Structure 1
Amino acid sequence: VCVPEAVVTSVSDPLCNVSLSVPGANEVSPSKKPRSRGLLHSLFCCLCHKETEPPPAKNNAPLLVEENGTLSKVPAKPLLPQMQSNDAGKICVVIDLDETLVHSSFKPVNNADFIIPVEIDGTVHQVYVLKRPHVDEFLKRMGELFECVLFTASLAKYADPVSDLLDKWGAFRSRLFRESCVFHKGNYVKDLSRLGRDLNKVIIIDNSPASYIFHPDNAVPVASWFDDMSDTELLDLIPFFERLSKVDDIYDILQQQRTSS
């Protein structure tokens, strides 16, 4: 979910392409984001800044990003454990959660697939979650072909129970949350070089380009999803990933895909 730093009634951002309704809040102009931190920001994160300068792509050295945006190459413990023996040789696919696999809201939804109770500041709030069409088929097949990792900028107390209900097949070998992101010029970025996997065998599937600004060559972008039940994007991606699962180096194939699309 793409939510700025305060509780809002309606937000539209050209990079996030989002409109989220929240009951009992004041309207905020989309051109000016509030500075105060509010209720929703404690769960969700919006990756919507355009000024981020990416470091060099295809760089295996772990990057730690300081609050002022300074990059420093220092040894860092890999985010992922050693690959399981039955995944040996497989490509690691990092998959985003909100607006990629599901859409969540504090506003009640009649056809919600899940309702997740989440405690914020001593109060329990209900989060209504819609599954993107064909997400079950997509996750099942991806778990058969790849070492899949959930990586979200949201907090674990929301994203973990959603993943428990969403991933019926154990497709996700690992789950990474906001604390595993690096904060760079106002964005929570998913630094693929910190995973502990060779970057030529890592792919990220995400609806937000800001999430993979460090490694755009490793990305398979997807359109943001909210409530269009006729959407087929995940289903359409399965044949492409079936072909991709057989390659030794992902860069040539992804470059060809970008050129042809």
Structure 2
Amino acid sequence: MAELTRAEVYMPRSMQVWRALLNWLAFFLQIFAQIIRAVGQYPLLSSSSATTTETPTSTSTHRFKRLPVVDSTEIESPATVEIAAVLDSPVPAGDDSIEKLTVVLDLDETLVCAYETSSLPLTLRSQATDAGLKWFELECVSSDKEFDGKPKISYVTVFERPGLQEFLNGLSEFAELVLFTAGLEGYARPLVDRIDKENRFSLRLYRPSTICTEYREHVKDLSRLSKNLCRTVIVDNNPFSFLLQPLNGIPCIPFSAGQPHDTQLLDVLLPLLKNLSLQNDVRPFLYDKFRMPEWFQKQGIPASGWSV
């Protein structure tokens, strides 16, 4: 018995080396798994996918962050003259009061974020709930078919961006609201029914209303909504959605369930839109704040790729 014990203790050196290597490998694999979980491997339902439940697409690789104010003197912009012509153009004459502001709102990652219920970890939902984030489950009709030919039913968990209802209520007091999403109607319509029971949106537009350009799909052309772009803005977490009217766009920080204390709607967007409602022409103000035409040019989209 003592000999057996000594044989176990005094292993060949090669075996000790291999055991040490395996232990280190297991250690690094645990660290790597923790890093993956920390950054969040749970896919949001993107509004630019080809399925009803909106899985991520190539647009997610162009994640947009808050735009810095760029010094236009550092950029040789071929569109300078065109932009100046728009900003200096006279505002259409009207009555004593200016026309009501039209605010076009994106849905996914702007007002809400949505996940396939089957792939959503209970821990993420519990953490969001404990932090006060409102959520609900949604049953929507997919464009896919079951084996028997019946429409496939998808189940989605939707998280509301903090302050959503207060934001829509406050905004509806001074603006006309339009919902414009690249999501399919089978998914988006029942979702909007849940968050807008008061019918604050005067118009709802889905993926078929978007257009395809040389540079991006699912682009939202504001000229199809209003003839007066002086009083029209669009809020979207994906700036490529409004590349046809860069002077009317407000880039929004994307929202996910991991951001339960987000304050963008009430602290940033609502005051900004209230200010814009007092402007005769929103485009000079938004150009000075975001410099979107220059940003698009940095993304490789020349002035000919968007219209002003």
TM-score, normalised on structure 2? 0.57
Letter in 1 for 2:113: H
Matched, 1:165 2:194: yes
How many residues are aligned here?
197
TM-superposed deviation, 1:57:
7.4
TM-superposed deviation, 1:59:
11
Rg larger in structure: 2
- Give me the whole-angstrom Cα distance separating, in 1, the residues matched to 2:197 and 2:189: 13
Partner residue of 1:135 out of 158, 161, 164: 164
Aligned to 2:112: 102
- Give me the whole-angstrom Cα distance separating, in 2, the residues matched to 1:105 and 1:155: 15
Aligned to 1:248: 280
**Contact 1:47-1:188 within 8 A present in 2 as well:** no
Aligned to 1:232: 263
Q: 1:258 to 1:210 in 2, by over 3 A?
A: closer
Query: Runs of 4+ in structure 1 displaced over 6 angstroms?
Result: 55-60
Deviates most, 120-129 or 206-215? 120-129
Aligned to 2:295: none
Q: CA RMSD in A?
A: 3.1
TM-superposed deviation, 1:234:
0.6
As a proportion of its length, which structure holds more helix?
2
Deviates most, 244-253 or 124-133? 244-253
Query: Once the two structures are aligned, what percentage of the paired residues are identical?
Result: 33
TM-superposed deviation, 1:258:
2.6
TM-superposed deviation, 1:179:
0.4
As a proportion of its length, which structure holds more strand?
1
TM-superposed deviation, 1:21:
3.4
Q: Secondary structure at the match of 2:173?
A: helix
Q: Secondary structure at the match of 1:196?
A: coil
Residue pairs, 1:66-215, within 5 angstroms: 89-106=99-116, 107-108=119-120, 109=125, 111=129, 113-120=135-142, 121=145, 122-185=151-214, 186-215=216-245
Gaps of 5+ in 2: 1-38, 63-78, 87-97, 146-150, 292-308
Deviates most, 95-104 or 193-202? 193-202
Aligned to 1:221: 251
